[in-house]
Structure 1
């Protein structure tokens, strides 16, 4: 084993003697349509013999992320097949993200099981898009997989591409830059947030029409970007072949998940976990104070992966860990739970009140309307949150809260430390002058010095004619904010923001009914947010003892 591998093992906390392995590179795996995909096999030296295999299918190169995971597992004694997905790093065909992974994955699984070095038992591993390639085959594999390690990923991506119906612009632009340039400048380099790229990305997402932003980002058209923006109005229909959330939990293999409170797939991954658990599958999840691919999560992810594989492929004993392990931010502690959502969480309403107040005492008797104008030519900005690239996580929101197009409601100082752990929601009664618009709700932690740090948020794009309404015709927006595990310290105050945009994280609403991809004309939208006894606008927070 080389010096670099020893250093990696030491940094990750693996002190077991490493296994020796060899690699068989550039294996050609035939697909049912005649395309061949390239793969690398990590195996024990010497004559081939049937063994269980860990499979990983990646668009990021067999010698990038593939080498990192493949060699780590090979040093732990596992046999690993790493494959470049269709149209990437030497594999044939065109890379159309998400659309070919089911058929290609099942073809690869059948080929793998027919090899003399396979005993037919297959587990899968990998984060993010690599996790999606697992979801694309696990519900359909027959025989089934032995286990899955599906980290920072989800069974369907539509709710992450278009949160609440609004295109997740900035995160998708970051990913398009990576996949559009990675084979020219390297998979890792292509994802770095350099100053030059950050300026280029900002110009691209601010330009109209959005359809052409891929050329500004990468220098060439990117098919996935066009798919993303061209199908914003019919996302679920277009991406249906890539959606696997209708799985039968009872038929799923054991699944281990690692994610973070600041990961863009958190919301959907927790839905998947809850469905697996409710359906009787063996599943567990770990949630840290991490963003997508956070360096701080790597050691935990690696140990969860190796332990899960050892248990299910090698018959190692169960470690007895609780199904849910979460980190409570600002309490600096890990908490074990039997299930998600946390059964001990107490849903508690904080109501919007007159004078910019937030009250836990119930809706006021007086009905009040607060108004603002959202201008797409100067869309309300946002900072922090679950972003692929910095700035992410928590930031001071005071510059945004000072704008005329943001409503702010602040509660009194808390008498004691208050832990929020679980699902977060909001109900907002409102009208817009056109029936169109976006509704962005953010919960913040205001410290004694006045800093307003974001805890969680949610977005909803209004669809005229399909929204719930109060008896007087006021629209009733019910939206889910991202789940959280967070301690609000004594003396701090809770704050709620309401705005018509969170740009450029989400694509701005143009104020018209023009398609997202081609719109070039913008029109301001006038908002009226109502609260009081007849319109009890509120946030729903999960108090946890």
Structure 2
């Protein structure tokens, strides 16, 4: 059966009702990615007894108005929630559901809308918490490639064109090298008036600070290979509602549809059925209180309890190359290539561990402590951890970046957080640690002048010195084999 389309205050909304007379609890998905893509999902929710609705956000696809990302979602979601509760098929209970930007819509409705419009539960998958969180690392370093791709495809337009950036890069492989980055829309041949304003959002954490006051259950879902992993975990940890569950697997941004190279068959989970079962228990108050959930340990078939954390263990590293190197923004270290040349002038410091004598289970936040020097007034320090298999193949494990403004030539001690890992590393694996000044085009190039990387027009090379004796790679290692758990049982507990 095809969903019925209605217009709710100018917002195109498709509704799928279950068989029977009702009334029913409702599911609301608000999305900029075209509500019609959710028709199969709506039918699945309806088969499970929910009235399911998908809505185009303001200014997108069939909805009227102007599209301003992250600006109108609480108010528009509140209007829609009130409308749903007034319908004869509604029993008044509502679950806000979404992934990526749609998760943002669900969360702002839960946390920012007036009390009479708030949902009774929320499912947030790979949540894009806000403009600052999506545009920048916690250290402030700009996430260039991901934001350029999203803005080119969806920004300042009524519909979407997923291949805009790909076509532009095919025509001009050096597209991101042109300065200033603020003029990228002109080189794309598109009008994107909101692009420069995106980078004025610098303050992260406002959204999660409100989560401690949440009054409803949360199911947060993410992937170890997703760029919003840290935000997903932070949201879950800080959630103040009666119940918070985390499901984190070795997946990318599309979750089970994009398994990572370390995913096993045991990590395939039917998310739709699990969401429906969780929502039913959330609405009937049958979830245990507190924080719980499950994390898939990549490289193994195991799921472990979400609060499982390894103990920091410092790994021995041997310097191979580049304890003195030049970070040249004209020739930045590539974020897309793992091959490292040791010929010519070094562009990074390269260190390596001995082969692991036995398998290593790593679960938690990985950090690198440094003592280093730059001869420029501004410097980014990027740490990339790569696994080299016994067969010699390379796989990126984690990346972290910090921006420093130490006096030129002065030693500084600092830590680069590489983020969360959940991985079993086989015996014989060597870990390669790269310390560089750039990670481009995933991140914008620091021009080393002190100017904003988005508006800078001048670049300087930066001489770097790394004290190899002071480099400490701290991995969160499980001391014993973790106790396995059933992820479905943990989520529905």
TM-score by length of 2: 0.85
Aligned counterparts, 1:328-347, within 5 A: 328-331=297-300, 333-337=301-305, 339-340=306-307, 342-343=308-309, 345-347=310-312
Structure 2 distance, partners of 1:225, 1:45, is 45
Q: Which residue of 2 aligns with 1:247?
A: 210
Residue in structure 1 matching 2:24, options 37, 46, 51? 51
Q: Does 1:94 align with 2:72?
A: no
Alignment RMSD (CA, Å): 3.1
In the TM superposition, residue 117 of structure 1 has moved relative to its aligned partner by 3.2
Structure 1 distance, partners of 2:158, 2:81, is 26
Q: Which residue of 1 aligns with 2:225?
A: 262
- Does structure 1 retain, via aligned residues, the 8 Å contact 2:389–2:430? yes
In the TM superposition, residue 207 of structure 1 has moved relative to its aligned partner by 1.8
- Does structure 1 retain, via aligned residues, the 8 Å contact 2:371–2:466? yes
In the TM superposition, residue 407 of structure 1 has moved relative to its aligned partner by 0.9
Query: How many residues are treated as equivalent by the alignment?
Result: 466
The alignment partner of 2:98 has SS state of: strand
Structure 2 distance, partners of 1:312, 1:192, is 39
Deviations 1:487-541 (A, max 9, x none): 2211121221100001000011112222333222111111112243xxx331210
Residue in structure 1 matching 2:339, options 393, 398, 404? 398
Q: Does 1:543 align with 2:480?
A: no
Deviations 1:18-59 (A, max 9, x none): xxxx63313232xxxxxx322222224687x54321111111
Deviations 1:80-115 (A, max 9, x none): 122111111132221111122222222322333233
Are the structure 2 counterparts of residues 98 and 452 from structure 1 closer, same or farther at C-alpha, using a change threshold of 3 Å? same
Structure 2 distance, partners of 1:205, 1:194, is 11
Q: Which residue of 2 aligns with 1:124?
A: 96
Are the structure 2 counterparts of residues 308 and 457 from structure 1 closer, same or farther at C-alpha, using a change threshold of 3 Å? same
Structure 2 distance, partners of 1:214, 1:83, is 28
The alignment partner of 1:476 has SS state of: strand
Q: Which residue of 2 aligns with 1:71?
A: 43
Q: Does 1:179 align with 2:148?
A: no
Q: Does 1:412 align with 2:369?
A: no
Are the structure 2 counterparts of residues 124 and 484 from structure 1 closer, same or farther at C-alpha, using a change threshold of 3 Å? same
Are the structure 2 counterparts of residues 378 and 196 from structure 1 closer, same or farther at C-alpha, using a change threshold of 3 Å? same
In the TM superposition, residue 197 of structure 1 has moved relative to its aligned partner by 5.1
Deviations 1:422-462 (A, max 9, x none): 11112222221123111110112122233332111111122
Aligned counterparts, 1:213-362, within 5 A: 213-217=184-188, 219-229=189-199, 231=200, 235-236=202-203, 243-249=206-212, 251-276=214-239, 279=240, 281-294=242-255, 295-296=257-258, 300-313=270-283, 315=284, 323-331=292-300, 333-337=301-305, 339-340=306-307, 342-343=308-309, 345-350=310-315, 352=317
| Structure 2 residue runs without a partner (length 5+) | 260-267, 481-493
In the TM superposition, residue 319 of structure 1 has moved relative to its aligned partner by 11
Structure 1 distance, partners of 2:6, 2:175, is 37
Q: Which residue of 2 aligns with 1:487?
A: 424
- Does structure 1 retain, via aligned residues, the 8 Å contact 2:51–2:90? no
Are the structure 2 counterparts of residues 400 and 438 from structure 1 closer, same or farther at C-alpha, using a change threshold of 3 Å? farther
Residue in structure 1 matching 2:14, options 20, 37, 40? 40
Are the structure 2 counterparts of residues 193 and 336 from structure 1 closer, same or farther at C-alpha, using a change threshold of 3 Å? farther
Residue in structure 2 matching 1:205, options 176, 179, 194? 176
Are the structure 2 counterparts of residues 226 and 193 from structure 1 closer, same or farther at C-alpha, using a change threshold of 3 Å? closer
| Structure 1 residue runs without a partner (length 5+) | 2-21, 30-35, 357-368, 384-395
In the TM superposition, residue 139 of structure 1 has moved relative to its aligned partner by 1.9
The alignment partner of 1:245 has SS state of: helix
Structure 2 distance, partners of 1:125, 1:172, is 23
Q: Does 1:382 align with 2:335?
A: yes
Are the structure 2 counterparts of residues 247 and 400 from structure 1 closer, same or farther at C-alpha, using a change threshold of 3 Å? farther
Are the structure 2 counterparts of residues 40 and 463 from structure 1 closer, same or farther at C-alpha, using a change threshold of 3 Å? farther
TM-score by length of 1: 0.78
Structure 1 distance, partners of 2:374, 2:258, is 43
In the TM superposition, residue 168 of structure 1 has moved relative to its aligned partner by 0.5
